[in-house]
Structure 1
Amino acid sequence: MLNFFRAGTANAKDDLLSGLTVALALVPEAVAFAFVAGVSPLIGLYSAFFIGLITAAFGGRPGMISGATGAMAVVVVALVAMHGVEYLFPAVILCGIFQITVGIARLGKLIRMVPHSVMLGFVNGLAIVIGMAQLGSFKTLDLSTGNLVYLTGPRLYVMLGLVVITMLIIYLLPKLTRALPASLVAILSVTFLSVAINRSGVISGDEITPNAVATVGDMLKTNFKASQITEARQNDPTHVASDALLAEFRQVSYKNDEVVGPVVRDPATDAAEVEPTGSEEESSISGGLPMPFFLQYTVPPMTMETLWIILPFSLTLAGVGLIESLMTLTLIDEITETRGRGNRECVGQGAANIICGLFGGMGGCAMIGQSLINVNSGGRGRLSGITAAICLLAFILFLAPWIEQIPMAALVGVMFMVVIGTFEWASLKMLRRVPRADFAVMVLVAGYTVIMHDLATAVILGVIVSACVFAWTHATHLGAETTINEYGSKIYQLHGPLFFASATSFKELFDVHKDPDDVVIDFYYTRVYDQSGLEAINVLAEKYESAGKRLHLTHLSDECRGLLDKAGDLVEVNLSEDPQYHVATDRLG
């Protein structure tokens, strides 16, 4: 990674300012993920508040930012679509219970099994995904087709110019002073510039977003209206409803029937019926204090049927959330040269999701992009995450009109700098410097992350492939040196691990028919790791017994002896510790 991340210890000023910076970047992310999940933007914002506050206070990684994430949103969207938003909240609560269980069982340490090649692929794939996600900010709603299209002409050039200005401020300001986070200064500066451009009226916008420079508020309106059109098209394949909705947006009246809302054909009369289009309030981040979900929604019946509905979603949410959080924790550990506590983070994430579900949230986990913004802005302590969460709630309660004036160009520029700082550029030169299998795993994880946008599955896939490569490679490392001692016994001095992948090679090392009547296998330089290894020993012992020969095992480690004892009748061989069979002693003598 490029050295864009400030080194240093936590202090209150840096934590407060970096927390404010992160809060500004959280708004569009939380709203966008809410649209992905098929819920109200306020649900995404409330989720970011609860998840961010509780994990910052009680989680295992100070300085890491958590909130509503895309990884969780793509899981819950199916649940919301099939059963309704009422089932979402119990699913999130159950997800939190599973995560707390993982933390109490101290299973967070399993993150150590993730190889470095998988971590590199994860980081690189994530950087590409974050970069690609910013391209959506360059789109607007085309009212002639109802599709999102890329900006063109002056609006595109202004947008690109402001993005470049934001990136230059973030890059150059630290060379002059570190009194204020460069990202915060960039956001405020470009906001003032965009307000001046929009008020000047030199460049016009479109029907949905009249501002020349699209703001957070414009993004909310565009996404809200685009989601309305998409829903209308899904509910009415004839596109009558979506065409009527577009007509409403264009404020066009037909001669025969004035269309003022989505239109659905009545099969009986084949006439146009008007349905409400939804409230414009849903395209704003303004709201009140969050309330428990059972005071706002119909509570689903607490039965086994409900449990079976939410159980698979809760398990998936718990796994996705923990994997992404623990991977983010590892990345922040590396950047800050400190060490977080994985098990505590599992418990913190679980508690946050339980509270989030109780207050009608969509759940969440660690947010890598926002965590890197926080680290880059100097945030190191828990105060930074707490500040971000409280500022986010303040935006909802009091400052929504102001926050909606922030240009998307400023936030895109900040995220582009995160992409540049996150991508491991040195990995592009690693093909000839690392084993090809490791490089292939890195490319696989990065590619799967980019194509499928599924970080958790990409990590699991990378770990599985790395484990298979490791097993295959070490299966070829088992060998034996043979000697004949003074008593005429043949000694096999094993080297390498004996496990499922090397069991066949182990059997091929011995020549039962040509060996003398007394054979010794010396395990001084090897270990038996699993039941396949035990079974291989058992099969070999039976062959020597059938041939009327004796087989001895010497210098077994305590772990190997424990496995043999547990195997019981599976392995019946003579164990010997006679020093005369110790090949190393013979050589030294």
Structure 2
Amino acid sequence: MIQLLVSKSQSLKSDVLSGLTVALALVPEAVAFAFVAGVEPLVGLYAAFMVGLITAAIGGRPGMISGATGALAVVMVSLVAQHGVEYLFATVVLMGIFQVLAGVFRLGKFIRLVPHPVMLGFVNGLAIVIFLAQMKQFQFSDENGVLQWLQGEQMMLMLGLIALTMAIIHFLPKLTRAIPSSLAAILTVTLLVIGLDLDARTVQDVLADMTGNPAATIAGGLPQFHIPMVPLSVETLKIILPYALILAAIGLIESLLTLTLIDEITETRGRGNKECIGQGVANVATGFFGGMGGCAMIGQSMININSGGFGRASGISAALFLLTFILVGSSFIEMIPVAALVGVMFIVVIGTFEWASLRLWGKIPRSDLIVVVAVTGVTVWQDLAIAVVVGVIISALVFAWKHASNMSFDIRDEYDTKVYVPNGPLFFASVQNFRDHFNPKMDPPEVIVDFKNCRVMDHSGIEAIDALAERYEKAGKELHLRHLSPECRNLLTKAGSVVEVNSSEDPKYKVADDSLA
């Protein structure tokens, strides 16, 4: 049975009302991302519906909202421009298959490798991206199709309605929680604009600007099953495979990072591998029903959580409300003032940005600050996937450098024998430090290297030990190696004969080396 709620104490009413709020905010986002990808608005809306519905039902994180996203759209645009939308549908299906495989092979666990400074940069960067994305709502197309900023009374009205929306969202929860404050704000501002006949930009105006058609609408029918019309050939695979791999990676990274963020906010734990499978199944399905694919949406997920939508019913109801808007409610949705939706997103920006990170200067290592700033900047400048990879690489290099610098030696003489006791991990970054401590020409005839306080981490460490044995052999000295794990002994080629085996004292651990596989 599908778990509709996180726990019995959660309210189905809160989930449904939160889902309605999310659905209202999904419409302009899905349409905008569809145009970024170079496809029709309904392609984005169908993706938001199907991906949102399936991931909410079978994914690994109740309360998380998925749909068409900008991070995926910017990758799709070149594929659509060069080969057409049918190739996009085929790519989305293959993307989904890769994501399912990632879940089956339990690759979701690797999200644990993302350090906390990368997470800080991730949320800060996305908050800035969400904020900058709202700036286009302050623009309109003139008679020549050139974008112009709102001026005078129009700009003042826009800012006033945004401020009213944000005020309602902020203060209403102090009076009542019977209705999500975001939903109440959208309804209040919409009724105010209609009742006072204010000349405010609406969702309809945004559609007209995007399409160049004053009569543009989000109205449509049910998604229809559709096998992508592409040749089943190796050439087709060559075209769609690179895009599918990139889209699958971006989608999973954004989804798993959003899952981790919501875990922290709700103090619960989602299931990363199950979310990979849910995202994959959703994308396979949407590819066969004319959708552009999608992944988790941090902005809409934050709206959902802040509105009290913690259960699966919130995501399911959001998707069903969105479908209802497409089928029968398009005229009502198109009347919503854009200012109300912008105000909701500004509240999301304020809640998403990790303001505490601004107080970290001088309180955490400089390397961590560099990671936070780098990930934030690359997220805004390029995209999330590149930013996370950059952050993880910087963090890994800093980690390796620190541990390489921490290797030390205890050296003592025992009669005619010299004993070396290395302390710290022996791996690629510390092997030079390890080598520099030995001088075979100056050492006595018998030397002992005791690894009781040193763990050999990788093949570079194994090679360093082999090379050390060779150096002492050439110098005519006798070398003894103590307290190496069985895996280390198995991997040594030149130094195997100088290892002293003590089954009761030798450590047992694995070495990161392909030879063991």
TM-score bracket, shorter-length normalisation: over 0.9
User: Which residue number corresponds to residue 270 of structure 2?
Assistant: 340
* Contact 2:421 2:450 (8 Å CA) reproduced: yes
Which of these residues, 285, 290, 307, is aligned with residue 223 of structure 2?
290
Is 1:353 the equivalent of 2:278?
Answer: no
* Contact 1:127 1:422 (8 Å CA) reproduced: yes
Alignment of 1:246-261 (within 5 A): none
Q: For residue 551 of structure 1, report the CA deviation from its aligned partner.
A: 1.4
User: Which residue number corresponds to residue 316 of structure 1?
Assistant: 246
Q: Structure 2 CA distance, aligned partners of 1:570 and 1:326?
A: 44
User: Which residue number corresponds to residue 214 of structure 1?
Assistant: 201
**SS across alignment from 1:497:** coil
Q: For residue 300 of structure 1, report the CA deviation from its aligned partner.
A: 1.2
Q: Structure 2 CA distance, aligned partners of 1:136 and 1:376?
A: 25
Unpaired runs of 5+ residues, structure 1, are 1-6, 201-211, 226-278, 583-589
Q: For residue 552 of structure 1, report the CA deviation from its aligned partner.
A: 1.4
Q: For residue 488 of structure 1, report the CA deviation from its aligned partner.
A: 2.6
Paired AA for residue 413 in structure 2: I
Alignment of 1:174-185 (within 5 A): 174-185=173-184
Q: Structure 1 CA distance, aligned partners of 2:354 and 2:448?
A: 51
**SS across alignment from 2:260:** helix
User: Which residue number corresponds to residue 493 of structure 2?
Assistant: 569
Q: For residue 573 of structure 1, report the CA deviation from its aligned partner.
A: 4.2
Which of these residues, 312, 317, 328, is aligned with residue 382 of structure 1?
312
Structure 1 residues 337-381: Cα deviation after superposition (integer angstroms, max 9, x where no partner): 001000000000000000000001100000000000000000111
The percentage of counterpart residues that share the same residue type is: 59
Is 1:51 the equivalent of 2:51?
Answer: yes
| Rg (Cα) greater in structure | 1
Paired AA for residue 333 in structure 1: D
Paired AA for residue 484 in structure 1: D
Is 1:498 the equivalent of 2:426?
Answer: yes
Q: For residue 570 of structure 1, report the CA deviation from its aligned partner.
A: 5.0
Unpaired runs of 5+ residues, structure 2, are 1-6, 507-517
**SS across alignment from 2:409:** strand
Q: Structure 2 CA distance, aligned partners of 1:336 and 1:8?
A: 15
Q: Structure 2 CA distance, aligned partners of 1:456 and 1:68?
A: 16
User: Which residue number corresponds to residue 445 of structure 1?
Assistant: 375
User: Which residue number corresponds to residue 301 of structure 1?
Assistant: 231
**SS across alignment from 1:221:** helix
The alignment's TM-score, normalised by the length of structure 2, stands at 0.94
User: Which residue number corresponds to residue 21 of structure 2?
Assistant: 21
Paired AA for residue 498 in structure 1: L
Structure 1 residues 280-336: Cα deviation after superposition (integer angstroms, max 9, x where no partner): 66x311000111233xx7x11111110111000000110000000000000000000
* Contact 1:535 1:570 (8 Å CA) reproduced: no
Is 1:409 the equivalent of 2:339?
Answer: yes
Change over 3 Å in CA distance of 1:106–1:188 after alignment to 2: same
Which of these residues, 382, 388, 412, is aligned with residue 459 of structure 1?
388
* Contact 1:65 1:367 (8 Å CA) reproduced: yes
* Contact 1:215 1:406 (8 Å CA) reproduced: yes
Q: How many residues align?
A: 499
**SS across alignment from 1:527:** coil
User: Which residue number corresponds to residue 3 of structure 2?
Assistant: none
Q: Structure 2 CA distance, aligned partners of 1:363 and 1:168?
A: 35
Runs of 4+ aligned structure 1 residues displaced above 6 Å come to none
Q: Structure 2 CA distance, aligned partners of 1:138 and 1:127?
A: 18
User: Which residue number corresponds to residue 4 of structure 2?
Assistant: none
Q: For residue 568 of structure 1, report the CA deviation from its aligned partner.
A: 5.0
Q: Structure 1 CA distance, aligned partners of 2:495 and 2:64?
A: 51
Q: Structure 1 CA distance, aligned partners of 2:501 and 2:162?
A: 73
Q: Structure 2 CA distance, aligned partners of 1:516 and 1:482?
A: 13
Q: Structure 1 CA distance, aligned partners of 2:455 and 2:291?
A: 50
Structure 1 residues 74-115: Cα deviation after superposition (integer angstroms, max 9, x where no partner): 111110000011111110000000000110000100000001
Q: Structure 2 CA distance, aligned partners of 1:13 and 1:417?
A: 23
Paired AA for residue 441 in structure 1: V
User: Which residue number corresponds to residue 475 of structure 1?
Assistant: 404
Q: For residue 224 of structure 1, report the CA deviation from its aligned partner.
A: 1.1
Question: For structure 1, which segment, 465-474 or 156-165, has the greater mean C-alpha deviation from structure 2 after superposition?
Answer: 465-474
User: Which residue number corresponds to residue 118 of structure 2?
Assistant: 118
Is 1:521 the equivalent of 2:449?
Answer: yes
User: Which residue number corresponds to residue 131 of structure 1?
Assistant: 131
Is 1:77 the equivalent of 2:1?
Answer: no
* Contact 1:552 1:573 (8 Å CA) reproduced: no
Root-mean-square deviation (CA), in Å?
1.7
Change over 3 Å in CA distance of 1:563–1:356 after alignment to 2: farther
**SS across alignment from 1:361:** coil
The alignment's TM-score, normalised by the length of structure 1, stands at 0.83
Q: Structure 1 CA distance, aligned partners of 2:480 and 2:184?
A: 75
Which of these residues, 532, 538, 546, is aligned with residue 460 of structure 2?
532
Change over 3 Å in CA distance of 1:8–1:159 after alignment to 2: farther
